[in-house]
C-alpha cells in the first residue's frame, strides 16, 4: 500500500484541469447495460472506482475498450445478471447496476454492499423503489435478488428517506423505469447534477425523462434504447477540494479549469463568506486566500445544499481559521474520521453526534496519519500542505478511488508531495 509524504509550507499558484465526475461516471457506465449498441463515454476519470465498475460490467459480459479518458463499451451479449460480492464489496456504488440489470433481464442478483467508515450504507430506498415498479426483492446469503416476473410497470414512487433523497437510489429507479411499461413518477428524487447527467445520457439513448434536477422526475417507458456518445460533467467535488487547497495555500490565486461553476454555488458561497476572493467565468473558477479569514457554520444537505462530500475538506480549512467554526453532517453523521487524524496534527476539533466544533489553531504539525475514506483522506493532504514538517499519509489507495492523480495536480500547482511504496 502506497503512502504520501506531504512537505509543509506549500504556496500554490497556477491552474489545474478538473477531471470528469467520478459520481456521474459510475451510474452512466452502469446505464450502458440498457442497450445492445455501442456507447462512447468521454471524460471518465482514471480512478479505481471507475476501474471497478468496468470490471463488474466485463464480468457481466460487456466488451470494454478504454483509451485515456474515453470508454467504448458494448453490452450486446450479457452472460450474467449477477454482480458478485468480491467486486461489490470493493465499491458500494456497484449497487447501481441493479436497475439496469432488472430492466434488461427482469432479474438481478447483486451482493449487498458492506457499510463503510462514513456510516451504514443501506439500500432500503432502492429496493422500495424497484418493488414499486413490480420487482420482488429477497435478501439471502448477503445478496439481494430481484425478479420482475411480469416485467416492470410504471408507477408513482416516493424515494425520500429520513436523511433526504438518495442519489444512487434515484439513479437505480430511473434506469429501471426507462424500459418499464407505462409512466413512472419519482417523488422525493435526488436533484444532484450527476442525476441530471445520467438523465441527459438516457434521453440521448432514446429515453423519455423530464424533471431531472428537481425532486419530481417523470419517465415514460419505451421499448428499447440505442447507443450514445456522451461526455461526463466535471467533478464538482474534486473542484471543491482544489478550491479549499487554494483557500488554504494559494500564494496569490489558483485557477480551476474545465469546471461548471453553477454546480459549486453552495461551496463558493461559504468560501466567500470566509473572506476568500472568488472569480467565476464560463468554465473556470479562481480563488485567492482571505486576507482576514473567518470561520463559518455549515450544515450538509442534499443538492443544492452544502455537499457532505465537501465537509471533511472544510474541516481542514477551519482547523487553521481563527475562531470557532461548526460543521454538521446531516447526511452521514458519522463522517468525521478525518477529525481524529487531524487532532494528531494539532487540530482542536470536538465531534459529538454528527457535529464538529472546530477552534482554529495557528499552526498544525506533521504526524504519521492514516487515510480512511475518500474525502477524509483528501482533507489530510490539505492539512499536510501547511503543517510544519513532512506529513506521512498511509493507505492512499483511499484517495486514488476518487481523485485522478491528485498528487501530480498539486505538484503542478507548486506543492511538494512524494508518493512512496508503503515500506519505504
Least separation in angstroms between CB 316 and ligand EPZ:
15
* Residue 161 or 227 having the CB closest to ligand EPZ: 161
Tell me which residues touch ligand EPZ (CB under 6 A): 23, 26, 93, 121-126, 161, 163, 166-169, 190, 194, 308-309, 331-332, 374-375, 402
Cell of 163: 436523511
Backbone angles phi, psi at 349, to 5 degrees: -130, 130
- Catalytic pick from 116, 191, 274, 276? 116
Least separation in angstroms between CB 77 and ligand EPZ:
27
- Output the CA–CA distances (angstroms, integers) from residue 185 to 129, 149, 180, in the order listed: 11, 22, 12
Least separation in angstroms between CB 346 and ligand EPZ:
26
Q: How far apart are CA 104 and CA 245, in angstroms?
A: 43
Q: How far apart are CA 234 and CA 22, in angstroms?
A: 9
* Residue 163 or 253 having the CB closest to ligand EPZ: 163
Q: How far apart are CA 423 and CA 3, in angstroms?
A: 9
Least separation in angstroms between CB 389 and ligand EPZ:
28
Least separation in angstroms between CB 189 and ligand EPZ:
11
Answer yes or no: 276 catalytic: no
Query: In terms of Cα–Cα distance, which of 91, 101, 187, 185 is closest to 144?
Result: 101
- Output the CA–CA distances (angstroms, integers) from residue 134 to 34, 106, 140, 147, 198, in the order listed: 18, 10, 19, 8, 23
- Output the CA–CA distances (angstroms, integers) from residue 191 to 29, 216, 217, 232, 311, in the order listed: 19, 9, 9, 17, 19
Place of cell 457535529: 355
Q: How far apart are CA 250 and CA 9, in angstroms?
A: 11
Catalytic residue positions?
116
Amino acid at each position: 500500500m502506497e503512502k504520501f509524504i506531504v512537505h509543509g509550507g506549500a504556496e500554490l499558484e497556477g491552474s489545474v484541469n478538473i477531471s470528469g465526475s467520478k459520481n456521474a461516471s459510475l451510474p452512466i457506465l452502469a446505464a450502458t447495460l440498457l442497450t445492445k449498441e455501442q456507447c462512447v463515454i468521454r471524460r471518465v476519470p482514471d480512478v479505481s472506482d471507475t476501474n471497478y465498475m468496468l470490471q463488474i460490467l466485463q464480468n457481466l459480459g460487456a466488451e470494454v475498450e478504454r483509451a485515456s479518458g474515453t470508454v467504448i463499451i458494448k453490452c450486446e451479449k450479457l452472460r450474467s445478471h449477477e454482480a458478485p460480492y468480491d467486486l461489490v464489496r470493493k465499491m458500494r456504488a456497484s449497487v447501481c447496476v441493479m436497475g439496469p440489470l432488472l430492466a434488461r433481464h427482469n432479474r438481478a442478483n447483486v451482493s449487498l454492499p458492506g457499510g463503510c467508515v462514513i456510516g451504514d450504507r443501506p439500500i432500503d430506498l432502492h429496493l422500495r423503489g424497484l418493488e414499486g415498479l413490480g420487482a420482488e426483492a429477497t435478501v439471502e446469503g448477503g445478496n439481494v435478488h430481484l425478479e420482475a416476473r411480469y416485467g416492470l410497470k410504471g408507477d408513482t414512487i416516493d424515494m425520500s428517506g429520513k436523511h433526504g433523497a438518495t442519489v444512487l437510489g434515484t439513479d437505480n429507479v430511473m434506469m429501471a423505469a426507462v424500459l418499464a411499461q407505462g409512466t413512472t413518477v419519482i417523488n422525493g428524487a435526488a436533484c444532484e447534477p450527476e442525476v441530471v447527467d445520467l438523465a441527459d445520457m438516457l434521453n440521448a439513448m432514446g429515453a423519455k425523462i423530464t424533471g431531472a434536477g428537481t425532486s419530481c422526475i417523470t419517465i415514460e417507458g419505451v421499448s428499447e434504447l440505442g447507443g450514445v456518445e456522451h461526455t461526463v460533467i466535471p467533478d464538482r467535488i474534486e473542484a471543491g477540494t482544489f478550491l479549499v487547497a487554494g483557500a488554504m495555500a494559494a500564494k496569490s490565486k489558483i485557477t480551476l479549469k474545465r469546471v461548471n461553476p453553477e454546480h459549486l454555488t453552495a461551496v463558493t458561497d461559504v468560501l466567500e463568506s470566509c473572506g476568500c476572493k472568488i472569480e467565476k467565468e464560463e468554465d473556470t473558477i479562481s480563488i485567492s486566500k482571505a486576507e482576514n479569514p473567518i470561520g463559518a457554520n455549515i450544515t450538509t444537505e442534499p443538492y443544492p445544499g452544502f455537499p457532505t462530500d465537501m465537509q471533511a475538506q472544510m474541516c481542514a480549512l477551519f482547523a487553521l481559521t481563527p475562531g470557532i467554526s461548526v460543521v454538521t453532517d446531516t447526511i452521514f453523521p458519522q463522517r468525521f474520521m478525518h477529525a481524529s487524524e487531524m487532532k494528531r496534527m494539532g487540530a482542536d476539533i470536538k465531534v459529538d453526534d454528527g457535529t464538529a466544533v472546530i477552534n482554529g489553531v495557528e499552526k498544525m504539525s506533521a504526524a504519521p496519519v492514516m487515510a480512511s475514506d475518500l474525502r477524509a483522506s483528501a482533507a489530510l493532504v490539505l492539512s499536510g500542505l501547511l503543517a510544519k514538517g513532512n506529513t506521512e499519509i498511509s493507505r492512499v489507495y483511499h484517495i486514488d478511488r476518487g481523485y485522478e492523480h491528485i498528487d501530480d495536480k498539486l505538484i503542478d500547482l507548486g506543492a511538494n508531495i512524494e508518493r512512496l511504496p508503503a515500506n519505504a
